[in-house]
Amino acid sequence: MKNITSNIENLTSLWESVSKPFDSFFKAEEFDYSLIKNSDWPNRLWFNTDINTGMVQKARKVLQSSSSKLIIPYWDIYDSISFRILENNGFQLKFEQMGMVLNRSRCYDTLEGVSLKKVASKKEAELWSRLFRKSFGYDINPILINVSQNNTHYYIAYNENEAVGTGIIHFTNKVSGIHSVGIIPNHRRKGYAEQIMKALINESIEKESLRITLQSSEMGKGLYLKLGFKEQFKIKNYELTTD
């Protein structure tokens, strides 16, 4: 359970650290939420314990008062079916992910195909944002990257001199969370995703992380299993669809 908790804490810490500089992180009694205007991300509301009807109804009021849509991740770790409370209160399942963890102590040998460049300027932040939009189909405002915290590193992946993708590492308590690994459409199926992941894993090891975590889509899970990641828990992501 400790490894699962550290995975969730890394993910929610990323949302919190990105939102705080804009006064866009909020704490309620049973849940926290991040709501940044003019950005599709992070914009999440997450519960800190297993949910009940009262908690969900309080969250509904927050969501109904917002002009932006927030995604609600449900951590399927409580050995219950409380996610049905969300479904019975106007929330629709949008997508699922798998929390995964890697315990690795040795870096990969010299990599071929891609190199990583840490974002360090406004121009690079704007490029990162454009690449992310092409890769994932939604927007991260580049201003979020410009004021990034010391424990959050944004990377542009290059094939020679051509930018082909993105990645993030967020560090919490000897845990490296790898996030937002994306490849722009015209460079997919060339092995770049695996090379980016290996480079991010190497960076995590060099920073002396004891564990590496991520949240995988079904499409990406095969690659992460190949790299040695283990499945931990399912994340069901919901959105409020009714008033």
Quote the pLDDT of residue 147: 81
pLDDT bin (cut points 50, 70, 90) of residue 150 is: confident
Q: 149 pLDDT exceeds 80?
A: no
Quote the pLDDT of residue 198: 95
CB contact at 8 A, 231 and 6: no
Q: Tell me the C-alpha distance between 31 and 51, whole Å.
A: 10
CATH topology of domain 115-231: Aminopeptidase (3.40.630)
CA 98 to each of CA 10, 27, 80, 143, 168: distance values in angstroms, whole numbers, following the listed order:
14, 26, 17, 29, 18
Q: In what order do the strands lie in the sheet with 152-159?
A: 25-27, 31-34, 44-47, 71-76, 230-240, 91-102, 211-216, 175-183, 162-172, 152-159, 115-118
pLDDT bin (cut points 50, 70, 90) of residue 243 is: low
Quote the pLDDT of residue 2: 72
pLDDT bin (cut points 50, 70, 90) of residue 148 is: low
pLDDT of 83-123, one tens digit each? Answer: 999 999 999 999 999 999 999 888 998 677 789 999 999 99
CATH number of 2-100+235-240: 3.40.630
Domain spans in the chain, listed from the N-terminal domain onward: 2-100+235-240, 115-231
pLDDT of 198-228, one tens digit each? Answer: 999 999 999 999 999 999 999 999 999 999 9
pLDDT of 24-78, one tens digit each? Answer: 999 999 999 999 988 889 999 999 999 999 999 999 999 999 878 899 999 999 9
> Identical fold at 2-100+235-240 and 115-231?
yes
Quote the pLDDT of residue 5: 95
Structure-model confidence comparison of residues 39 and 239, the more confident one? 239
